Amino acid sequence: MTLEAYADTIVPGEKRSADDRAIAGVSTGGGAVQAGALELLQWDATGIHDGLDDLVRLVNEHAQAYAAERGLALDPAVPPFVALEYPDRAALIQLLTKPGHPEKEFWVLLSLFCNMAFDSAAHLNTAQAMADGHPGLKAMGLTQPDADGLWRFEDYSYGREFARLHPDTTSTGSPA
Amino acid sequence: MSTTAERTDVLVIGSGFGGAIAAYHLAAGGADVTVLERGPWLESKEFEHDYKLGSSYTRVFDFTVGDGMSILGGNCVGGGSVVYFAAMPRAPRFVFDRQGSIGRRMWPGAVSRDTLDPWYDRVEESLSITKQNWNDVSYAGGLWAAACNHSGRTANPLAVAIDNTKCVNCNWMMAGCRFEAKQSLLVNYLPAAIAHGARIRPLHEVQHLSRTPDGSYRVHYNVVHDDDYRLQAGSGVIEAKIVVMAAGAGATPVILQRSEAHLGTMPRAVGRYFSGNGERLNTAVIDEAKAAELFGLERGDGLAYAANHIGKGPTVASWDKLDGSLPEYSRYSLEQLYFPPGLGTILAQVPGATGPSWFGKEKKEILKQWASWLTIFTMIEDDNEGVFGPPPATGNSHRISQQMLGRGNLRYEPTKNTLGAWAASDAEVKEILEKDGLAKVMPWTNDLVGAYTVHPLSSCRMGDDPHTSALDDRNELRDHPGIFVTDGSAVPGALTVNPAMTIAALAERAVPGIVQAAQRRGISVTYGAPAPDGSASGRKNVLPLLPSARG
């Protein structure tokens, strides 16, 4: 649940049900969680799969400290990071990833893979993910490949001269 | 022990521009050449259009995170040429007079634009480099050119090593060209080298060099697992009379650092003066209606642009600031670039964000406009600030993911000169693209993985001064005769343009000296091979024999 909340802070989505606590629900459409962030994070190809339990423990400790410093009461029914409101989740991740934070590298890495679940579906075959309506690739407007799973664009250029060339250009197109 | 070691005349470490060019000429000249490449060997048909970890996309490049600087580089047979975008401009004349951080000319006296031009010519012939015309320019390049023109600037279609008759504008160049349109080294120098007997061994990662009693070198390597590069599948040693190091500017100095215990003291400049080629990216989110209104753009279906994903990397650059009369650190080029999702998207920031700028609710909103992004690549003059710390246990990084992602020991703290040049170029990109409401622009953040380069340079550079250069002006490692460095690490500093052309030209220039050194060590080798397919040189030699062609 904590990892879902973290992933949802990086690329937020809409709640899967009315009582969904992990997803803050600050955005419409699927976010990192719906895009498969947990699946990607737990895959050994990433190299962070082994450390996820530690990251969960640490981010909850940080959330507890963050709440204590600000006098926020956390709902004990869910992990502390999940209990934070979205703006506080985001503020905490900003603190953890700030230059100089001793654990910065771990949180940047975790954030990177959460983002990759959404923006490139790094745990899925891309053409298949497109066919299955992957929420991230769809939201970003990637177009469908040809039937063989490869992309080709017949139209690619305005075919117009848009500007003067730099006066010091060689005949082969380099700076003189 | 040495009785069991394999032997070769020339051992080349790395198969990118520096390695492939040296391997070809030495093999064509008659030397016994072996190339060790740390990455896999993929054929064109194996280049997939797939972002999945473990596909060819993540197998062929490395992303090495350092302290203040991260490097994206090639990791396969063909090296950087397989993952690059094939932009091949020559470096402007003033670059060779740069002083950089040392207060005097950093390039060797023997190298200037004039002395390098014949070598540029040779690369141009070998890779069929052509100046694109406006019909070749992608939608993104056209938009950038229109914006430059709108704000009173010039814009140039780039010289590229692409066969546009084969290009399908798929924009998957960074994953290797499936259609053999990109003139990577897999379609010229490397097959020519193999035809002359060179042997290429993929997944062989060199760890260090040591010396034999007779002054040859022993090259110690690990075999990397085919799928999971974190694993090793053996190790070995090869002896060679000549070693050509071309592992890339992020790896060559690391191998030399690790070799110091065996070879003796390295020149001071090994692992210092690293340059990220002054690179930086800005992401503009284009207002489609404004693009249509200001420039009359339309591409059917009511779309003005929305074509971030269509095309082929950089096609148009603005060179107005490549003016040799301007002071150092104020000269740069601004180039339109395609950057695929997966690694860089997270570094794009939300213009005018009220909350976090690189993640979160507002970031998701600009991700939804990804098709309308226009990415501008800036190449400024930096200050060669990078220094490599102690080498990691193996390779050039501690590998985190099965492929692609590792942690290296490069430290980079930008100086005021570099920061000032980035700020000035950022301001100009903003001025051009925000004029009349065309777009909203923000540079990529450096806060997450530091600055970011796709063109690492200068970590083992050539020069005249032994204190500030690791190589002499013939690319030979000082105090270690028989070791040559021909990759981007030999380039003394940032070039203000894409560097592949200059790396290749310097490698071509280094070859006659390497051949002479090889001859002195008893290797039977000559210099003089034509460009890999031999066509132009062949014509030049044949034409004088034909009376009708004499005119």
DSSP B370-439: GGGEEEEEEE------BEE-S--SSTTSEE-SSSSEEEEEEE----HHHHHHHHHHHHHHHHHHHGGGSE
Closest Cβ–Cβ partner in A150, A162, A170 for B155: A162
- CB-CB neighbors (< 8 A) of A153 in chain B: 168-171, 310-311
B193: how many CB neighbours lie within 10 A of its CB?
29
Q: Do B346 and A161 touch (CB under 8 A)?
A: no
What was the ipTM of the complex prediction?
0.97
Which residue range is the domain that position B99 belongs to? 6-521
Q: What is the pLDDT of residue B101?
A: 87
pLDDT exceeds cutoff 90 at B169: yes
Helices vs strands, H then E, count in chain A: 9, 0
Percent of chain A with pLDDT over 90: 100
Apex CA B97: angle with CA B91 and CA B100, to 5°? 95
- CB-CB neighbors (< 8 A) of B132 in chain A: 173
Candidate from A61-65, A168-172, B25-29 with smallest mean pLDDT? A168-172
Helix axes B139-150, B288-295, angle to 10 degrees: 60
Q: Do B320 and A175 touch (CB under 8 A)?
A: no
Closest Cβ–Cβ partner in A111, A160, A166 for B319: A166
Could you tell me the CATH number of the domain that includes residue B120? 3.50.50.60
Residue of chain B with shortest Cα separation from A107: B448
Interval B391-406: pLDDT, tens = 999 999 999 999 999 9
Q: Is residue B476 part of a domain?
A: yes
* Torsion over CA: B31, B35, B41, B44 (sign): negative
Look up residue B443 and give its DSSP letter.
E
CB B525 within 8 A of CB B26: yes
Q: Do A152 and B169 touch (CB under 8 A)?
A: yes
Burial code (b: 16+ CB inside 10 Å, e: under 16) for A114-150 equals bbbbbbbbbbbbbbebbeeebbbbbbbbbeebeeeeb
Q: Coil, helix or strand for B531?
A: coil
Average pLDDT over residues B507-514: 98
* Total tally of structural domains belonging to chain B: 1
CA distances from B175 to A146, B52, B58, B454 (A): 17, 11, 8, 14
CA–CA gap between residue B182 and residue B96 (Å, rounded): 28
CA neighbours closer than 13 Å in the CB half-sphere of residue B26? 34
Q: How many CB pairs under 8 A join A and B?
A: 222
Q: Coil, helix or strand for A60?
A: helix
- CB-CB neighbors (< 8 A) of A174 in chain B: 89-90, 120, 159, 501
Q: Is residue B144 part of a domain?
A: yes
Confidence of residue B52 (pLDDT cuts 50, 70, 90): very high
* A53 close contact with B: CB closer than 8 A: no
Q: Is residue B312 part of a domain?
A: yes
pLDDT exceeds cutoff 60 at A110: yes
Q: Do A142 and B309 touch (CB under 8 A)?
A: yes
CA distances from B56 to A153, B45, B166, B289 (A): 21, 10, 21, 38
CB B441 within 8 A of CB B351: yes
Q: Is residue B308 part of a domain?
A: yes
Q: What is the pLDDT of residue B537?
A: 57
Q: Is residue B547 part of a domain?
A: no
Confidence of residue A160 (pLDDT cuts 50, 70, 90): very high
Q: List the single best residue of B361, B369, B452 to mutate versus A (max A Cβ within 10 A).
A: B361
CB B527 within 8 A of CB B509: no
- CB-CB neighbors (< 8 A) of B373 in chain A: none
Closest Cβ–Cβ partner in A126, A142, A143 for B52: A126
Confidence of residue B301 (pLDDT cuts 50, 70, 90): confident
Q: Do B400 and A125 touch (CB under 8 A)?
A: no
Nearest Cα to Cα of residue B203 among B53, B34, B54, B76: B76
Q: Is residue B113 part of a domain?
A: yes
DSSP A105-119: HHHHHHHHHHHHHHH
Q: Do B52 and A123 touch (CB under 8 A)?
A: yes
Residues ≥6 apart with Cβ < 8 Å to B55: A125, B48, B175
Q: List the single best residue of A158, A166, A170 to mutate versus B (max B Cβ within 10 A).
A: A158
Q: Do A173 and B341 touch (CB under 8 A)?
A: no
* Torsion over CA: B199, B406, B458, B317 (sign): positive
Q: List the single best residue of A103, A153, A164 to mutate versus B (max B Cβ within 10 A).
A: A153
A73: how many CB neighbours lie within 10 A of its CB?
7
Confidence of residue B533 (pLDDT cuts 50, 70, 90): confident
Helix axes A2-10, A86-96, angle to 10 degrees: 80
CB B169 within 8 A of CB B311: yes
pLDDT exceeds cutoff 90 at B193: yes
Q: Do B155 and A143 touch (CB under 8 A)?
A: no
Q: What is the pLDDT of residue B300?
A: 84
Q: What is the pLDDT of residue B1?
A: 44
Confidence of residue B2 (pLDDT cuts 50, 70, 90): very low
The two structure tokens encoding residue B38: 């740390």
Residue of chain A with shortest Cα separation from B304: A158
Q: Is residue B528 part of a domain?
A: no
Residue of chain B with shortest Cα separation from A135: B368
Q: Coil, helix or strand for A159?
A: coil
Q: Is B493 left (phi over 0), alpha (psi -120 to 50) or beta?
A: beta
- CB-CB neighbors (< 8 A) of A158 in chain B: 137, 139, 142, 297, 299
The two structure tokens encoding residue B231: 């694993």
The two structure tokens encoding residue A70: 């600000």
Interval B257-287: pLDDT, tens = 999 999 999 999 999 999 999 999 999 999 9
- CB-CB neighbors (< 8 A) of B134 in chain A: 157, 159-162
Interval B331-387: pLDDT, tens = 999 999 999 998 889 999 999 999 999 999 999 999 999 999 999 999 999 999 999
Q: Do B52 and A171 touch (CB under 8 A)?
A: no
Q: Do A172 and B172 touch (CB under 8 A)?
A: no
Q: Is residue B537 part of a domain?
A: no
Q: Do A122 and B52 touch (CB under 8 A)?
A: yes
pLDDT exceeds cutoff 70 at B540: no
Average pLDDT over residues B212-220: 96
- CB-CB neighbors (< 8 A) of A145 in chain B: 49
Q: What is the pLDDT of residue B343?
A: 80
Kind plus residue range of the DSSP H or E element containing B94: none
Q: What is the mean pLDDT of chain B?
A: 95
